[in-house]
Chain A
């Protein structure tokens, strides 16, 4: 069908527009305007941060719409070194990567077993994981913190400085643990959608259960794994509540570092540093999003099995 047949919602609704009538065209114009306005409302603040990160200090006190006179890359140097965002950035990368490794290492086998095997207590496991979908980390961050404090107290002889708090590896374990329900849920659904014939054939060829899982099923589940990686990457990289609580010492994540810059700026008006810091935090996310989105589409287009 052609577009002309569909009366537009943007036009006044007293009757249906005539095919090709002026009403329909006006409706489309209204729609374009609305949608463009919305896209601008999203894009302008983000673009504004990018340009503002290159402004000199004095330029922040005029009209917000001026472009920077000269490109002040010093803001970035300042943010990276003086504000320690460089080392915080590395902590964030470490925690995010470790978290992803942990969550995939434990969730892929578990999801596969839940999708394909029958075992006693399976219903209970599934129900518990499903309930876990509804428990947000923010609800339980306080007890997690207290638990780690307790563990540190118990180990005070072996590790006088504490082991569990201020430990990026423990933080990434917590990240991994709290995203297990969602990850297993998504992967299980996907594994179930893959026909069992592939595994039957491999089993006939004498492949072990472990090999079937890693070399047959895992590659076939790549679209789902990519989705899981994207979501968990965003969750780990963007989190600040858990890392603020569990890394109270010097080694912060980049989000907490940015939050500190943001709080300090309210008093000291050191804008250039803050905006440079924001760009440093945004860029990896935008890059990964742009890259993985493309790969996800490819996976869908070429994919034999859909979730």
Chain B
């Protein structure tokens, strides 16, 4: 098992490398570099431009160097001293800006994943076992709707409904009175009261997708000979189903984290922009609009790394669940 974990972690490295390359490409994509725009902005606002400072920055980020040297300097900065570059808009190191935002992104993504699982598992089992019943058709119908409605539209609709019928504006993760307050029981309650809307929005399509996957897999498994064996032992039907085919149909369910997670992180990004949640999304968006590329690129890299870690965990979970993988 240890060897498996080691191999799996090692396997992540080239993927991470590819992700960092794409992120850096995005940083480099807009015409003109960050320094030129900074000098322009500073001159525009009448600030004095310190030539020594500019020289220093040029040296650090190597703006005169070819692409690969710049990349190497950037990635070395991240790896050696956690330096993601500077945010030109905020005039702060990127590292100071992102960690809190990444934390809330992680919390919401994980809670959404939990929501997806808790909802999808029983419905998926029900739909597979009671195929083509009224209940199954209702769930299938809602599943399709959930898949079809893009996150941001769902967010807008829920916001509209809440505003129109509940008279409250949903947005953010805390009411204004708690925004600056230290964490307390009341604040946690308020936080949870705000949380359900984004979680439903973000989880909707993932839930629908997982229900469909589980239903399809379980339907296949239900007719396997080992199920008949279990039945022929004299096991009660619910035990036959829960202990055997469901257990095996869980495999694709767990490995689905691999693609549900990027999907959820995507969902968090755009939903957060619409609902103005204090996660990576709005800040990333702002950074992109104002072409604050080091900040934007760092977010993209970290969000990608987040999904990669999620995939690693799902693989390890899978190995734990299925001896066939563990022993291979």
A binds B: no
Taking beta carbons and an 8 Å cutoff, which residues of B are in contact with A?
none
Taking beta carbons and an 8 Å cutoff, which residues of A are in contact with B?
none
